[in-house]
A and B are shown apart, each in its own frame.
Chain A
Amino acid sequence: MRYLLKGGLILGETPADILIEDGRITKIGDVRADGAEVIDVGGRFVLPALADPHVHAREPGFEHKETLETVSWAAVAGGYAHVGVMPNTSPPIDSPEMVRALKARSENLPVGIHVVGAITKGREGRELTEMGLMREAGAFAFSDDGSWVSDPSVMLNALIYASHMGVPLITHAEVPELARGFANYDAVGIKYGMRFRSPLAEELAIYRDARMASLVGAHLHVAHISTPDGLEVALSFRERGARITTEITPHHLLFSTDRIPFYDPTFRVNPPIRSEADRRAMVDAFRKGLIDFVATDHAPHAYYEKEAPLTDASPGVEGLETAFSALYTHLVLTGEMSLRDLLVRMSARPADFLGVAVSLSEGSEANLFVFDQDAEWKVREEDLRSASKNNPFLGKVLRGRVLMTFAKGSLAYRR
């Protein structure tokens, strides 16, 4: 197939046509149709496809929430071409056989599926998984996401072993004894009589893991970082030469406890939505480049699992289909940061973490999306292609909407 994207704004700036032939970008500039299917994208942004290393595809075991297939539909609708899927499935992804099975299942899906293996067998925090064999089978990183590896001796060995195998460990940094509840510890939570997940739970967990990583020379990646104090700890070890990277979710960048209804189970998420002061500090750090990239922690749940009183609601929100529009609306259009800076944090850097290259250049595989930067849309359930609908932006108006996505060289989504 040959496509000619006519009249777009490359990176939101430079007017140019893009010719895509056999899945590759072959020409950027003033291009004549010459038999190619012409797609008029006049005046719209043409941007490098996004990548998200932290997605819960729920397969195997929770196919009623999401599958590799439905998460692919959601991803391309959000402008993504590559996602990393987390191993807290049932059973967990903790063997090379499972990694191979998932890789095989995703071969023909429209997005690149990259597998995170579990750090410990059964995610039980005791015995190491076969990280070497799993890496050979295609796992790019390891995590017991959903839980912290509590036992320090297990985590220390896991870091030593992962470092030898050349793979990063992703930590879900919350000390469980300080994170038994479901809400942030702050004045709002005190007022509403919440049960807490303390910011301290994150800070202390990051300290232990970062200290160990710096000691043994491992690459530690901190998932969904949410507190300025936790970030400061991570950065202090990085300054001393440790290999520490971090990611942040759109919901931690855009929501805070005094901006959400206290009883809305949609916003029950781990780590919890933090205070407005914390959020503000995280936006500043993100703007300055102190947080490496955005990961949505896309966490689908069925209606009946989510729509319940706070004590019973499953933790997590969806993110893939709204992340870019939401951050464009609230960070780019408000002048907090440039479109280019946002793209670095949603495309180039996370792609690099996944071990793939995404670029808008001649000769590259076609991984790009067209963004109607002026479209205003209200997020409605019927627009969402994920199997679940627990999206925190439902009912909210966003500026800019994904029109089409090329992923893995193919036209994977078109509105």
Chain B
Amino acid sequence: MKHLLDIETADRDFLMKILESAEVFLKVLEQPSKKLPTLRGKTVLFMFMEPSTRTQSSFEVAAKRLSADTVNFSPAKSSMRKGETFLDTLYNLQAMGVDGIIVRHSSPGAAHFVAQHTKASVINAGDGAHEHPTQALLDAFTVRRHLGRLNGLKVLIVGDILHSRVARSNLFLWRMFGSEVMFSGPPTLLPGEFEGLGARIVALDDVLEDIDVLMVLRLQRERMEGPYVPSVREYRRYWGITRERLRRLPERTIILHPGPVNWGVELDWEANDRENTLILEQVRNGVAVRMAVLYHLLARTEEVG
């Protein structure tokens, strides 16, 4: 594989290899000397057209641990505002000689678009509401470390599914590995078409007692009140993971959240009292998984020739 653009069309064995390697990199991260020479001499470009401190930092730490050089492109500092097009910018930046490009953009397909116009390896770090493949990989990695498998699990994703790239990438990934995916959320944010993609649309309170993974999505501030959801309290009443609902979860259930959490909106703080709430572990695992992705896409180009 040259790029990691989406989970939907990714090769299953390739994803499996990433998960295996991430175990190795996680061990490296636990050692006092955290740096590997693997990507020395390689340059990774960050094209983050939409601000995301968390994802970008995670990728940056991953790249640096592998000794890659990094170049940052954030549109505020650039000439994009003066009418330079995205494509111009891309051509200019890649003329500097980059091996990998990590793209975050508000348009679905932006990473695919970049991949079409570059010789470098492209990693999708979130394209609109389409996909966020490394997020799904780190979720799977986290779950596998705790439950020991990826198949036969019941995964429930709750919240604004319509606008969520995390939900889509997770749907494709868990289906690929043979687990069941359930979606729950306000009907305005969960169109029935998702059933055709292999998700089961469920009422939250019908399934809480029997799920292995509960993924809570962030309710964006601009969607808390308005055309999709009338109010936070009504959202909490029907789709919030409140302390009452937390009590009904089996002990084995892993709680994940792509972050940042609106505590008290989609998820109550009491979640932190549970052993299997792994939100911080997700962040740590994210670095290892992204190291594995960079390793498989960039370190191997020379071997192949």
Contact = CB atoms under 8 A, between A and B. Distances in A.
Interface of A: 186-187, 190-195, 261-265, 304, 307-312
B296 interface: no
Given A193-B108, A304-B88, A312-B86, A265 B130 contact: no
B108 to A, nearest CB: 5
B85 interface: yes
Contacts of B24: none
A348 B162 CA distance: 46
Interface in B76-99: 85-88
Interface in B108-132: 108-110, 112-113, 127-131
13 contacts: A187-B193, A190-B191, A191-B193, A193-B127, A193-B128, A263-B109, A304-B85, A308-B87, A308-B113, A309-B113, A310-B109, A310-B113, A312-B86
A263 B122 CA distance: 15
B220 interface: no
A265 B163 CA distance: 21
B108 A262 contact: yes
A310 B196 contact: no
Question: Which of B108, B128, B196 has the most chain A CB atoms closer than 10 A to its own CB?
Answer: B108
Assign chain B's interface to a size class: 20 to 34
Given A304-B87, A304-B88, A311 B107 contact: yes
A307 B110 CA distance: 11
Interface SS, A side: loop
A308 B85 CA distance: 8
Given A193-B165, A304-B88, A311 B128 contact: yes
Given A307-B87, A308-B85, A191 B109 contact: no
B34 to A, nearest CB: 35
Given A309-B107, A310-B107, A312-B107, A193 B130 contact: yes
B168 interface: yes
B194 A190 contact: yes
A232 to B, nearest CB: 22
Given A191-B168, A192-B130, A304-B88, A262 B196 contact: no
A262 B109 contact: yes
A309 B168 contact: no
Contacts of A263: 108-110, 112-113
Contacts of B162: 190
Nearest to B195: A187
Given A193-B128, A264-B109, A312-B107, 16 more contacts: A190-B193, A190-B194, A191-B8, A193-B130, A193-B168, A194-B129, A262-B112, A265-B113, A307-B87, A309-B86, A309-B107, A310-B107, A311-B106, A311-B107, A311-B110, A312-B86
B284 interface: no
Q: List 4 A-B pairs, minimum CB-CB distance, nearest first.
A: A263-B109, A193-B129, A309-B107, A311-B107
Interface of B: 8, 85-88, 105-110, 112-113, 127-131, 162-163, 165, 168, 191, 193-194, 196-197
A51 B247 CA distance: 70
B193 A194 contact: no
Contacts of B110: 263, 309-311
Contacts of A186: 193
Contacts of A190: 162, 191, 193-194, 197
Contacts of B191: 190
A187 B197 contact: yes
Contact of B197 (A191, A264, A309, A311): A191
B58 to A, nearest CB: 21
A310 B168 CA distance: 19
A264 B194 CA distance: 23
A190 B87 CA distance: 26
Contacts of A262: 108-109, 112
Contacts of B112: 261-263
Given A304-B85, A307-B87, A311-B128, A192 B194 contact: no
A308 B107 CA distance: 10
A178 B88 CA distance: 32
A213 to B, nearest CB: 31
A285 to B, nearest CB: 25
A263 B127 CA distance: 11
Contacts of B109: 192, 262-264, 309-310
Nearest to B194: A190
A186 B86 CA distance: 28
Contacts of A308: 85-87, 113
Contact of B108 (A187, A304, A307, A310): A310
Contact of B196 (A187, A193, A261): A187
A304 B8 CA distance: 29
A309 B105 contact: yes
Nearest to A308: B86
A186 B193 CA distance: 8
Question: Which of B88, B128, B162, B191 has the most chain A CB atoms closer than 10 A to its own CB?
Answer: B128
Contacts of A311: 105-107, 110, 128
B79 to A, nearest CB: 14
A200 to B, nearest CB: 13
Contacts of B129: 193-195
A311 B113 CA distance: 12
A312 B89 CA distance: 14
A310 B128 CA distance: 10
Contacts of A307: 85, 87
